[in-house]
A and B are shown apart, each in its own frame.
Chain A
Amino acid sequence: MRYLMMSKASDTAPDENLYVEMGKFVEEMTAAGVLLATGGLESGGVHVTSSGDEITVTDGPFSEAKEVVVGFALVEVRSREEAIELTRRFRKIVGDGDSVIQQVFGP
């Protein structure tokens, strides 16, 4: 089963050490065949809203900076617990903040 792990913006600024640790973690998870795709996201983005026939396009950034997803990882695991365990390890590396994991269905 697949899980999408999304991380939200945090206050702590990343340092050199964090990049090294993250690089190691990503490498390890890729080698283990667990990590299928990962990436960072721009912080602003574009909002596209539909209402009736009308489509509204709004450029970011938006006010609720803390709610913005800034990174994702798509993992293939045996169980929900494995996804949680991986997220736990990820959070240990990046420090204070929020991640959300949701199971992916399909394609």
Chain B
Amino acid sequence: MTDAHRTIDAVWKLESARIIAGLTRMMHDVGLAEELAQDALVSALEQWPESGVPDNPGAWLMAIAKRRAIDHIRRSQRLERKHEQLAHELEHQQDPEQDDVLRLMFISCHPVLATEARVALTLRLLGGLTAEEIARTFLVNEPRIAQRIAGAKRTLAEEQVPFELPDGSELAERLSSVLEVIYLIFNEGYSATSGDDLMRPGLCLEALRLGRLLAELVPHEPEVHGLVALMEIQASRSAARTGPSGEPVQLHEQNRGRWDQLLIRRGFTAMLRAREVGGTPGRYVLQAAIAVCHAQARTSEDTDWAQIAALYEALARLLPTPIVQLNQAVALGMARGPQAGLALVDSLIGDPTLQDYHLLPAVRGDLLVRLERYEEARLEFERAASLTRNVAERAFLRRRADEIAVTGASGVTLAQAAQDFLRRDDLNAETIRSYGQTLRRMCLTLGDQMPLASLTADQVTRMFATAWGEAAAKTWNRHRSAVRSFGAWASLEHLAAGLNRRAETRPRTATIGSPQLEALWSRPDLPLRERTLWRLLHESAAGVMAVLSLNVENLDLDDRRARAGDTWVSWRSETAQLLPHLVAGRTRGPLFLADRRPGPSRMPTQADLCPETGRRRLSYERAEYLFKQATKPLDPASNGYTLRQLKPRA
């Protein structure tokens, strides 16, 4: 980039949100508005290097974009006088309104969009970031982000999402979606979930700016100020939370002199504004209050843990997620001693959502060290290290494990034994693969370094309940026989003692009730692929495998049927309406496609690959997972349904 281009880029990032917002109000189409704004940007790139940056670059860009908008209307609707009049009005319209940017925020965080799409669109439309910049910060490739943004704009157009401010009860809901997106962006920057760096400061800055902007736009919402306070104070610790070689430094070990007092004061100010507005403290105000407690403590010993534990208790009532409870356990451990903390942590061990969450064993390890149960603590740190995807964090956890001297002769570890067991040559490849799954899970949950001799049937039973308690009997039994075989080989026959074989005769699959089905069909946020697949399964009553195996070239859209192997799958009107959109010009290849292209090492056979998009056929597992997730809120038991249950009662 030349200097002029860099200047234009800077101007663009400062102005684009307002320009796009103003254009969206005129054109009622955010996708079109963004294109017109981009056109204006192209003009700037052509003219400014010669003419220099104009005095009021924002107004310049807006004027050009407006002219393009008028051209666009005249071109597309040349013959209708009504539109001529509209174009005339546009020419004399006022400057963009202050609220337009707020409207734009509500649109780009609209619930009809998937969370990932909301994040990408917000960074794009409000942060002025290019698809390439967004891709780089999220470590994914550019076409995927571009696709995500294009898809989001399409969905907004299809759903005819209006450019307006929600009111009443809807406002609270929509606002919480905006706050969620901003905090997600912040967190992705603050605690990068993958990759080599612990932080991506650019994302934190974007989130902070969006938050501060939002606080000015909706000053009467305490949660907005709460979120800003939370982010300012968390950001104030950025410099202190990584060591010289990029390793994480825990809060209580941080050099508080390196906390950014300016940001802390800004956080306090935001918190005061939240208090002034009043109301029952929400999740962000509570979290900010916790952050304020930490920021007020001059040394870690001064921390008011009793207050923090009380705030976490309130937060856990509002937001009873296992992660909040885990944090509450840390606070309890500090306020009332490690035993109290450990008791709460241990109650979370059986929670399936935490089974691969590295901070659970890390916190447990901390508490165990304080209880002087060093050997157990070391295993927990080892396990935490093997679970995290972040390189710096893994090294840190390894070091914590290494700091605890190995006591006694612990002998063979679980990981070594598992490796030797799988290396035997009397097992066929399929068995090794199956046993491998079971043993990998065991190593992850119980720790690679767990001494084989200390492994108890109790631990295995608990681990099974967490990992496969909800699984089908067949799955449970497969893992059970793997443990039995492993136990016999290692002369630990008792290992599977607590695992009962489960009866595999499956009860007749219950179908989904019609109120649930109606609720499912009326949900506006269902992606086209899912909607089509589920409608088709329901209308055709065909097997899931048969439906997923359909190819575009086998469809007979006119006769509403398709050949699947030896049978026919046929459908009715609802599917018939959806199918042409899903096919969208494709002429052959799998009908239902996965979201992304397969990696080079996982290339499927030619028959399962779409020749046009390069994506693979949607797998049964993925389809089942998506359905289960989507139907959890509908199921009175909150388990979600299986695709087979879409088949209507015979």
Contacts and interface: CB of A to CB of B under 8 A. Distances in A.
Interface of A: 30-34, 36-37, 74, 76, 78-79, 81-82, 84-86, 88, 92, 106-107
Most-contacted residue by chain B among A85, A86, A88, A106 (CB, 10 A): A85
A30 B208 CA distance: 12
B205 interface: yes
Interface in B252-289: 258-262, 266
Contacts of B259: 107
B258 A107 contact: yes
B6 A81 contact: yes
Interface stretch (B209-217, B354-362, B580-588, B638-646): B209-217
A78 B202 contact: yes
Given A79-B10, A85-B7, A32 B260 contact: no
Query: A-B pairs with the 10 shortest C-beta distances?
Result: A33-B212, A81-B10, A33-B209, A31-B216, A82-B10, A81-B6, A85-B10, A81-B7, A107-B260, A33-B213
Contacts of A86: 14
B63 interface: no
Q: Classify the interface of chain B: helix, strand, loop or mixed.
A: helix
B621 interface: no
Given A76-B208, A79-B9, A82-B13, 20 more contacts: A32-B209, A32-B212, A33-B212, A33-B213, A36-B266, A78-B13, A79-B6, A79-B10, A81-B6, A81-B7, A82-B10, A82-B14, A85-B10, A85-B11, A85-B53, A86-B14, A88-B53, A107-B239, A107-B260, A107-B262
B266 A84 contact: no
B170 interface: no
Q: What class of interface size applies to chain B in its complex with A?
A: 20 to 34
Nearest to B9: A81
Contacts of A36: 262, 266
Nearest to B202: A78
Contact of B205 (A74, A76, A88, A92): A76
Contacts of A81: 6-7, 9-10
B55 interface: yes
Contacts of B239: 106-107
Interface string B1-38: 00000110111011000000000000000000000000
Contact of B209 (A34, A74, A84, A85): A34
Q: Classify the interface of chain A: helix, strand, loop or mixed.
A: mixed
B379 to A, nearest CB: 39
Contact of A78 (B205, B212, B217, B261): B205
Contacts of B212: 30-33
A26 to B, nearest CB: 13
Contacts of A79: 6, 9-10
Contacts of B57: 85
Contacts of A31: 212-213, 216-217
A37 B205 CA distance: 16
Nearest to A31: B216
A30 B209 CA distance: 10
A34 B6 CA distance: 18
5 contacts: A32-B212, A76-B205, A81-B10, A82-B10, A85-B14
B11 A33 contact: no
Contacts of A78: 10, 13, 202, 205
A7 to B, nearest CB: 19
Contacts of B55: 92
Contacts of B205: 76, 78
Contacts of B7: 81, 84-85
A30 B270 CA distance: 13
Nearest to A86: B14
A36 B10 CA distance: 18
A36 B262 CA distance: 8
